[in-house]
Structure 1
């Protein structure tokens, strides 16, 4: 699987990422897959061209697919070159909530309630592609409302 032609951004991210000032969901997805963590300040130390390159890596996730092997190498090289640090490591969750197509994660139910939206049914949840399930789960991991949750729900066809 090769790099995409342009950074992978949802419509709701175009405004909120402010020209990649903030980490797009595609980068967060790949960081989580590799078990890597960088701070926002470290992300912002990278030149725009490097941030755009990291946002072009694939996010397709099937149980049988291999993780794109060059994301971690590119990130490490960029961080060493521009921030003189390496990303922190953590153990990725082997069974993240977004992969479960039978149960809508509690955080998504909570965010829906906070936003006065009807939560996705398990059937609608299962129909979402894995990356969209990841995004909604990531946006709903904290107990307070997330400003991108409603726009994401609308973009994914789950809210009017």
Structure 2
């Protein structure tokens, strides 16, 4: 079973948009799939891509092979991710802490105990939504959903 975040709304019912859980899997596989490409896949294929595990290097290799097969059947182009390779360490406790501190200020991020209780999928979602290029609304909503919301004035910036 994959993590379904409430902040994603009906994404999981319709699968018209790429869920955060699949974005993590695509990042780990080092592949980019456009929204149009995602929508060209059958619903059964999209659901399979949500459910397939990526816990080990072998799982990731199988995931990439299955995705390539689905894409080939649908005539969808896949491309490698631009930039540095994505690693699980990017959203480990230290990575999430650093990104949240940069985004919310040193006092705005949840403590290490709270962050340490999160699953990998939850840490990934925080890491992605704490990207400085994104607005703070979804990050704040996710932190609230996960019970981690800090009192920072409501705008994603540190108090003061």
5 Å matches for 1:3-18?
4=1, 8-16=3-11
Q: Please report the TM-score for the alignment, with normalisation by the length of structure 2.
A: 0.74
Q: Does 1:130 align with 2:106?
A: no
Taking the aligned partners of 2:16 and 2:149, their CA distance within structure 1 comes to: 27
Question: Structure 1's 14 and 66: CA in aligned 2 closer, same or farther, altered over 3 A?
Answer: same
Gaps of 5+ in 1: none
Summarize deviations over 1:87-145 as a string: whole Å, max 9, x none. Answer: 11235234643124476123x235546xxx94212332233222211110011224341
Q: Does 1:153 align with 2:143?
A: yes
Question: Structure 1's 143 and 102: CA in aligned 2 closer, same or farther, altered over 3 A?
Answer: closer
Taking the aligned partners of 2:34 and 2:45, their CA distance within structure 1 comes to: 15
Taking the aligned partners of 1:147 and 1:51, their CA distance within structure 2 comes to: 27
Single out whichever of 45-54 and 138-147 deviates more from structure 2.
Answer: 138-147
Partner residue of 1:31?
A: 26
Q: Please report the TM-score for the alignment, with normalisation by the length of structure 1.
A: 0.74
Q: In structure 2, the residue corresponding to 1:88 is in which secondary structure?
A: strand
Q: Does 1:22 align with 2:17?
A: yes
Structure with greater proportional helix content: 2
Gaps of 5+ in 2: 151-160
